[in-house]
């Protein structure tokens, strides 16, 4: 089952009125950083109301955990209320649902560091800004994060120069 | 950390890619790039229209 249709995932989340922020590689790409990625990372609000809406969206997306795809394990509300990472496969491709990123940054902390981007007809999504992506990667300081930092910093410098 | 990660690497994503045929992997990449291009074009068009409305 090929995927890569991340716009369809975003549309489903938006249609189910899920509160989320696009982060990770897709956010970096949308902000102009030439990052390689094939999955969609979003931080979702873990409020009970939002988790209920998210469960409806995940049902529509036929989402299940991808680490043991043969078992078709599906996340429930206890998983989605947690700050953990749910690495899922949907009918449109991979989707990572993150309760928190970096050292515990949750949806409500991150929302003020986003800008809405028009991603489709009548579809706008909050996307995490490059400054915050860099700050979080610096804070975590993992090998993978450090590798991508020069690219993000350069993309930020270029985008500031272009303004 | 999720059981999908090993040494910061998302192994579940690699396994999923390996489960696809080479043609499906290319299709996945192509779909991803198509979606990305659609958003980029949409926002470029929007920027042009905003810029032209300022000059009016």
pLDDT at A2: 66
Rounded (to 5) percent helix, strand, coil in chain B: 75, 5, 15
Question: ipTM of the predicted structure?
Answer: 0.71
How would residue B55 be classed by pLDDT, with cut points 50, 70 and 90?
low
Q: What angle, rounded to 10 degrees, do the helices at A48-61 and A6-15 form?
A: 130
Query: pTM score, two decimals?
Result: 0.87
Chain A, window 63-122: residues with a beta carbon less than 8 angstroms from a chain B beta carbon: 65-67, 69, 84-87, 89, 93-94, 96, 117-120
Interface check B47 vs A, CB under 8 A = no
- Cross-chain CB nearest to A38 (options B3, B11, B32): B32
Interface check A163 vs B, CB under 8 A = no
pLDDT at B27: 85
- Per-residue pLDDT reduced to its tens digit, A93-127: 999 999 999 999 999 999 999 999 988 888 899 99
How would residue A53 be classed by pLDDT, with cut points 50, 70 and 90?
very high
Contact A85 B1 (CB under 8 A): yes
Count how many pairs of residues, chain A against chain B, have C-beta atoms within 8 Å: 91
Taking 60 as the threshold, does the pLDDT of residue A13 lie above it? yes
Contact A69 B16 (CB under 8 A): yes
List A93's β-bridge partners, or say none: A90
pLDDT at A86: 96
Contact A6 B1 (CB under 8 A): no
Distance from the Cα of B44 to chain A's closest Cα (Å) equals: 10
pLDDT at B51: 73
What does the alpha-carbon distance between residue A62 and residue A60 come to, in Å, rounded to a whole number?
5
Average pLDDT, chain B: 80
How would residue B14 be classed by pLDDT, with cut points 50, 70 and 90?
confident
Contact A94 B16 (CB under 8 A): yes
How would residue A162 be classed by pLDDT, with cut points 50, 70 and 90?
confident
DSSP state of A47: S
How would residue A145 be classed by pLDDT, with cut points 50, 70 and 90?
confident
Taking 90 as the threshold, does the pLDDT of residue A31 lie above it? no
């Amino acid at each position: 089952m090929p995927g890569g249709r991340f716009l369809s995932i975003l549309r489903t989340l938006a249609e189910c009125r899920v509160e989320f922020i696009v982060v990770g590689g897709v956010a970096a790409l949308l902000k102009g950083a030439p990052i390689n990625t094939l999955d969609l990372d979003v931080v979702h609000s873990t409020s009970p109301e939002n988790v209920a809406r998210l469960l409806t969206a995940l049902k529509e997306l036929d989402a299940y955990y991808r680490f043991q795809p043969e078992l078709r394990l599906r996340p429930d509300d206890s998983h989605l209320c947690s700050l953990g990472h749910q690495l899922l496969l949907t009918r449109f491709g991979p989707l990572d649902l993150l309760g928190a990123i970096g050292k515990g940054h949750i949806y409500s902390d991150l929302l003020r560091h986003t800008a809405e981007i028009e991603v489709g007809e009548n579809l706008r999504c909050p996307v995490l800004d490059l400054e915050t992506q860099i700050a979080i990667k610096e804070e975590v300081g993992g090998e993978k994060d450090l590798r991508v930092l020069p690219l993000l910093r350069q993309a930020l410098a270029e985008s500031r120069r272009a303004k | 950390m999720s059981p999908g990660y090993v040494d910061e690497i998302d192994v579940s994503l690699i396994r999923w890619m390996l489960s696809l045929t080479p043609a499906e992997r290319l299709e996945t990449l192509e779909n991803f790039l198509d979606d990305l291009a659609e958003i980029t074009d949409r926002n470029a068009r929007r920027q042009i229209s905003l810029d032209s409305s300022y000059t009016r």
